[in-house]
Amino acid sequence: MFQLGYSNTMRVFGLPMHYNLAVSRQREAHTGRFNTQVSAFLSVPLGKGNSAPLLSLGATQDRNTHSSQQMRLSGSALEDGAITYGLSADRTPARTTGGGNIQYRTPYATVAASVSGGGGYTQYSGGLQGALVAHPGGLTLANFLGDTIGIVEAKGATGARVVNAPGVRIDPFGYAIVPYLQPYNMNTVELDVKGLPLDVSLDATSTQVAPRANAAVKIRFAAVTGRSAIVSATRPDGTALPFGATVTDEKNAEVGIVGQSGIVFARGIEEAGKLTVTWGTVRRSAVPSMSVCRPGPARKRRIR
């Protein structure tokens, strides 16, 4: 009895093509005769990129004229591979069978369907998979769970994608479930803010957690909702505001800082109101017209 095999990869039209050739010889238990079997397999992507379909072909032949052929086609589509699909066909001297399947992973559940048939039969199947997590902030739908999960809170960041959990996005209530966290290890959870409204920003887009086993941990990202503005302001004497000075709104909430050349970057501000620039123990404020008023020892310029 022996078995030999050879496999390699070559590039055809810029695409990697993997092939495998094998031959084996072994004694048949019921006849005592030796049987030689030859097989060949080939797989090649039908395009470039991670979502390109993969075509696999295979054939087997032995000395008893027993032969079989197989064909497989699989791939994915949409962002994060939300749709996965597959087609298959098998042929032997006795019969030919085939089938197909498709799965769509939404941010809140996974829907799957398949069909197969051959030799006088047809079979259909379908499935729906998901979970519902109750937490202090309400109820959140999830695709998968696992033993250890993260409950992400990012109010105002509806639609933000969780980079480390394919298919998971912040829901309209500001929550998302991150499945399969590794217990007693540092897990990085990152949000992709691409596509968020211009009036929404996050204080941070990445954090790390080290949960216990079988735990549900809260992961909070602070989102700021409001207008952003860049204001060129100066002191009453015309000189630039100090670099790094703090900018606050009428509620005394910090909304920005002074950058180089006295440029103020503020975010999360209202449509109208006053901003105050503070450094040391002196406060200044300004208006877009840059008019100066002197209400007292602490000179101010208004930003409206």
- Record the tokens describing residue 275, joined without a space: 């901003």
What does the pLDDT look like over 130-175, one tens digit per residue? 899 999 889 999 888 888 999 999 888 888 888 888 888 889 898 9
**Residue predicted with more confidence, 95 or 288:** 95
Which among 5, 2, 59 has a CA at the least distance from the CA of 34? 2
Amino acid at 289: S
Separation CA 72–CA 164 (nearest Å): 29
Separation CA 271–CA 18 (nearest Å): 60
User: How many CB atoms are closer than 10 A to CB 162?
Assistant: 23
Does the structure show a pLDDT above 90 at 72? yes
User: How many CB atoms are closer than 10 A to CB 4?
Assistant: 9
DSSP tag of 262:
G
Please, which residues have CB within 8 angstroms of residue 144's CB and are 6 or more apart in sequence?
A: 110, 129, 131, 179, 180
Separation CA 189–CA 181 (nearest Å): 10
115 in Cβ contact with 100 (< 8 Å): yes
Amino acid at 38: V
Does the structure show a pLDDT above 60 at 287? no
pLDDT score for 251: 74
Q: Is the pTM of this model over 0.75?
A: no
What does the pLDDT look like over 34-61, one tens digit per residue? 778 889 999 999 888 777 899 999 998 8
| Chain mean pLDDT for the chain | 81
Separation CA 178–CA 103 (nearest Å): 20
Alpha-carbon 24 to chain mean position: 45
What does the pLDDT look like over 208-235, one tens digit per residue? 999 999 999 999 988 776 667 777 777 7
160 in Cβ contact with 191 (< 8 Å): yes
Helix (H, G, I), strand (E, B) or coil at 228: strand
DSSP of 129-196, one letter per residue?
E-EEEEETTEEEEES---SSEEEEE-TT-TT-EETTSTT-B--TTSEEEE--PPTTS-EEEEEE-TT-
User: How many CB atoms are closer than 10 A to CB 291?
Assistant: 9
What does the pLDDT look like over 96-126, one tens digit per residue? 899 999 999 888 888 999 999 987 889 999 9
Read off the pLDDT band of 292 (50, 70, 90).
very low
Please, which residues have CB within 8 angstroms of residue 3's CB and are 6 or more apart in sequence?
A: 22, 23, 24, 25
Dihedral sign for Cα atoms in the order 290, 294, 296, 299: positive
Can you name the residues that pair with 7 across neighbouring β-strands? 20
Angle at 250 between CA 277 and CA 246, to 5 degrees: 25
Can you name the residues that pair with 17 across neighbouring β-strands? 10
The number of helix segments (H) and strand segments (E) in the chain equals 0, 25
